[in-house]
Structure 1
């Protein structure tokens, strides 16, 4: 019986988190699969200057193939990938997405699995349900599985309504190798910190949950990290840090009294979609304040392990009452929960158990994978 797999993975980037929030998700999953003995090749395009803004060099836990934005080159790589046991096309590669969606389905044989891994299911579902002529509507049934970054039952139902054979959420999680408690860093001192790139379907919520509270609490210091906010009018008590590299995330999470999670509109709509940064912050024992989204109690206990707010006014109220001692208690509770239930080892075990149902492999560890 086969015990290891050869996996080909077409995604945005695993070596650069620059304008690429999925990077830490990919790293966590792929690293855990490598530790299980599986062989992963990650194919990523050289676009958006990501190779100039790498967070890591090519890792020992997977082979990275960076390709030019050229269809002929991509066809050669697809032929190479056709020899894998599992071939994965992720959403949002950023180059030749529609081409890859179709061509990967052409690689299906009796001895392999082809998987569409959706790291932004709300956007994909909105796309295909608003445009029934989108070619992906006809391709969904050809994939053995659709895996999603989040979304819970609403996303499962939507995908299966659109022809998916099986849709399974593989939630993001904590990479304990990279995110953990560290000493505070003075440059990140403050009351509340938010880290997120400026995106159209998040900006209004950032204004509501972060910028307005800062305006109304001028005596407190707020920290804003992420790309794209440079020309955004901000109150004087918000320090804009620009892109915060992965190596600084732990200090960014550990140092301020609390960190804020703000969901994109589409993620909040479907629910059950905790951002990667929620688990990263919990892994650093940060006190997390998050906007409300359906299903949050599936991951963390509100008021005990995370603070949930539904408006900017509630953010202001929380900050007025929260003490450093209470913030530390909440952060420690979140840290304990994430280690016991929400690491990438847990997610990879679930993924392996799903694959094992279809391929002749012996799962190495499948306990405690459900949440």
Structure 2
């Protein structure tokens, strides 16, 4: 595909990063598409909890439209969906199953699902309680774009009938995440919304080291933490850090912590955007362990992987600063070479080109979701 593409995204949120990791992912990807000369329209359901916390109400790198419900989406943008070169529906879109049905029925271009929550989605599909994607829709999609790689792609193809599963990881906006010369306020920090299944790792790898190192300073930033958490006196709490302040927040830390949801750990090969952001900012990273992490950032060369508090305490209290700087520089080099928004946009364009060529060579009769069911015996 050499001409500029017209791509429609229907996603959870572009305008608000409050309590979700989708917005920063879409922002990096769509900025990358704009840099490469392609057009994008992002369609977002207008919901109150994002309306009250919009930190990017008017993006300058794509067209944005808010819609009130599915009927309004189709009434106002049905023709655009039908005529786009590609339509990409994201995970956790309200009324997602019905929206995907509309896209499968109308879109003449490549029809893809972008799963920013792949392990969560697959677990919900198995339980039968996924309300934004139906199992029988997966084989009708032209492409399944997954936040998880590795073995998950085989599961998507073999167990769920995905025709073209590809890893499309999150990415970092290379223009907005970079090293800054800022005074260090904290020895270790963490940025993330509260999650029940991440909290034990946060307790083990940040709160316990804080108790053992009362002379050092720690910070946890993010919303929705329960009132009953016993924060050590040397742990500062910040309710929310907007994306425009992420780089400065990372730069004020001597080290930053990455912890992972259990579904992501079980799946492996599921990096978070916070990992890429911190690396692009040149901050030394300490992370919990999951399969595929050391393939992304080699252990001890570009990242510290800690299983217990003792490892974190040793790094904070004993490691020479030069070693931490060298690790951070290596991580930044890897991320900027492979995981920027422009990298990811180029990867997406190559995937769409391949699917479009395959579609053009196939029969003009396209499969409908209602007529295609996944047979678990296949």
Pairwise same-fold verdict (TM > 0.5): yes
Distance 1:343 1:255, change over 3 A: same
SS at match of 2:245: helix
| Distance (whole Å) between structure 2 residues aligned to residue 92 and residue 133 of structure 1 | 9
Equivalenced residues, count: 354
Q: After superposition, where does 1:1-371 map in structure 2 within 5 Å? A: 3-68=3-68, 70-80=69-79, 81-93=81-93, 95-109=94-108, 112-131=109-128, 136-149=134-147, 151-160=148-157, 161-185=159-183, 189-229=185-225, 231=227, 232-359=229-356
| Distance (whole Å) between structure 1 residues aligned to residue 100 and residue 215 of structure 2 | 51
Distance 1:259 1:34, change over 3 A: same
Q: Are the aligned partners of 1:185 and 1:251 in contact in 2 as well (CA < 8 Å)?
A: no
What do you get for the CA RMSD once the two structures are aligned?
2.0
Q: CA deviation at 1:252?
A: 1.3
| Distance (whole Å) between structure 2 residues aligned to residue 185 and residue 107 of structure 1 | 54
Unaligned runs of 5+ in 1: 362-371
Spell out, residue by residue over 1:266-316, the C-alpha distance to the aligned partner (whole angstroms, 9 max, x if none). 111111111101111111100001111111122112111111112233222
- The one of the two structures with greater contact order (alpha-carbon pairs below 8 A, sep at least 6) is 2
| Distance (whole Å) between structure 2 residues aligned to residue 266 and residue 193 of structure 1 | 23
SS at match of 1:310: coil
Q: Are the aligned partners of 1:230 and 1:242 in contact in 2 as well (CA < 8 Å)?
A: no
Q: Where in structure 1 do 4 or more consecutive aligned residues deviate above 6 Å? A: 132-135
Q: CA deviation at 1:101?
A: 2.8
Q: Are the aligned partners of 1:184 and 1:254 in contact in 2 as well (CA < 8 Å)?
A: yes
SS at match of 1:358: helix
| Distance (whole Å) between structure 2 residues aligned to residue 352 and residue 324 of structure 1 | 41
SS at match of 1:116: strand
Distance 1:133 1:21, change over 3 A: closer
| Distance (whole Å) between structure 2 residues aligned to residue 36 and residue 240 of structure 1 | 39
Q: Are the aligned partners of 1:213 and 1:316 in contact in 2 as well (CA < 8 Å)?
A: yes
Unaligned runs of 5+ in 2: 359-378
TM-score, normalising length from structure 2?
0.88
Q: CA deviation at 1:52?
A: 2.8
| Distance (whole Å) between structure 1 residues aligned to residue 320 and residue 328 of structure 2 | 12
Distance 1:301 1:317, change over 3 A: same
Q: Are the aligned partners of 1:258 and 1:287 in contact in 2 as well (CA < 8 Å)?
A: yes
Q: Are the aligned partners of 1:2 and 1:360 in contact in 2 as well (CA < 8 Å)?
A: no
SS at match of 1:8: strand
| Distance (whole Å) between structure 2 residues aligned to residue 72 and residue 132 of structure 1 | 23
Q: Which residue of 2 aligns with 1:369?
A: none
